[in-house]
Amino acid sequence: MTIVEALRAATANISDNYFLLPIAGMEYPLKRERVYCYELYHQLRLVLAQSDLVLTGEPDKKRHPAFDGERHPNPDLILHVPGSHKHNSSVVEVECEPKLHHLKKDLGNLKQMQTKGYGELVLLLFAIESVPWARLGRAAELNGFALSNIIVLLHKHAGAESTVETCPNVA
């Protein structure tokens, strides 16, 4: 099973309360990336139960020797074999507020993790209706990073599978 297949299956199992968090005293629920990510992590662990790879949530790269002298990314999820760079499989950045500075940070993390051997780079956007391609393209440009390096998933609604999105400028 690929990371994209696993993410699509996992996102289909994320319910309303994790997709948009009800808040006491508020009429409408709010998007909360961390709440969503924790449930996504749980659902991915279930889907990937037979995998030899380990799913790690928000691995802090401070004091990691491979990042000495570099900025320390903190990707939302990675799939790898801990303790080695031989099986660095996938990195997932999750975003629900796709403002330029958020996308720039996320793509910067993906680019940096790619230099450490991670092959599949995924940007998972949730609780939005469409991919902001122009903004995403600008964030990629600011990072010196091609959008063709990443897989973009869009998770519009709770209980529905995320979809793989293709940049309209790519034939």
**78 domain residue, yes or no:** yes
In a domain, residue 142? The reply is: yes
Structure confidence at residue 68 (pLDDT): 54
Say if 38 falls within a structural domain: yes
- For 94, other C-beta atoms within 10 Å of its C-beta total 22
Strands (E), the chain: 54-57, 77-80, 90-95, 120-126, 151-155, 163-165
Whether 170 maps to a domain, the answer reads no
Residue 18: is its pLDDT beyond 70?
yes
Q: Is residue 39 part of a domain?
A: yes
Strands 90-95 and 77-80, how do they pair?
antiparallel
Kindly state whether residue 123 falls inside one of the protein's structural domains: yes
pLDDT of residue 116: 85
Task: Name the residue range of residue 29's domain.
Answer: 3-165
The residue with greater pLDDT, 81 or 3, is: 3
**Tally of domains in the chain:** 1
**Tell me: the pLDDT tens digits for 32-76?**
999 999 999 999 999 999 888 888 876 655 554 555 555 657 799
Model pLDDT, residue 11: 98
Tell me if 13 is assigned to some domain: yes
Q: What is the pLDDT of residue 103?
A: 98
- 106-165 tens-digit pLDDT: 999 999 999 888 899 999 999 999 999 999 999 999 999 999 999 999 999 999 999 999
Alpha-carbon distance of 39 to 160, in angstroms, equals 14
The residue that leads in pLDDT, 22 or 154, is: 154
pLDDT at residue 57, as a whole number: 78
Mean pLDDT throughout 21-39?
Answer: 90
Which residues have CB under 8 Å from 170's CB, separation 6+? Answer: 147, 148
Whether pLDDT at 171 is above 50: no
Per-residue pLDDT, 108? 95
CA atoms within 13 A on the CB side of 13: 15
pLDDT, residue 35, reads 94
- 171 occurs within a structural domain: no
